[in-house]
A = this chain, B = another copy of it.
Amino acid sequence: MKMDFSFKPAQISTERALALKAEIELFNAQYCATLDRGNIEDWPLFFVQDALYRVTSRENSDLNLPVGLVYAEGRDMMHDRAVAIARTQMYAPRYMLHLVTNVRVIDEAINGDIEAEANFMLMQTLVEGPSTVHLVGNYFDTFTRVDGKLLIKERQVIFDTAILANDLVFPV
């Protein structure tokens, strides 16, 4: 499991990094569109079977604290969480919109795994209300290739914004 997200200069060629960057951008755009449309039950399909998904505050991440706001290991656990969220109707209806920028490819391993990062902003709009910043932060990802297509092996979401600990957290 990846424990070190410190900046490493890419060992791959610029040409290769740019090709992977475009592919990851498209992947993230489809991932976010699925969430923003509310198709939360399709969300686990962007991960490999035994993937790791974790959402942690930047403060805890900087302190190397293993406490995550959300932790899911494997598609099944993600699916359970996704279904729970999709069926919960206790909160006011709202629209979510992800903006993902600044994708950078860190490295590509011999086995084809790709380490990449991105910045994101998650906007929230309560019905009949203004749009407000819900969360900003980074994706720290490891992608792998299955049948030629990218899937997430590990997505660590580190967010800057302070949020309430008991806030229901939509997938980011």
Contacts and interface: CB of A to CB of B under 8 A. Distances in A.
Copy tally for this chain in the complex stands at 3
Interface stretch (A15-23, A47-55, A73-81): A15-23
Main secondary structure of the interface of A (DSSP, over half): mixed
A136 B129 CA distance: 12
A18 B58 CA distance: 32
Instruction: Classify chain A: how many residues form its interface, as a range.
Output: 35 or more
A30 B18 CA distance: 13
A72 interface: no
29 contacts: A7-B33, A7-B37, A14-B148, A18-B19, A18-B22, A26-B104, A28-B102, A29-B102, A29-B103, A32-B102, A32-B119, A33-B102, A59-B127, A97-B136, A97-B160, A99-B99, A99-B101, A99-B121, A99-B136, A121-B121, A123-B133, A125-B136, A125-B161, A127-B162, A129-B162, A130-B161, A131-B135, A131-B161, A133-B133
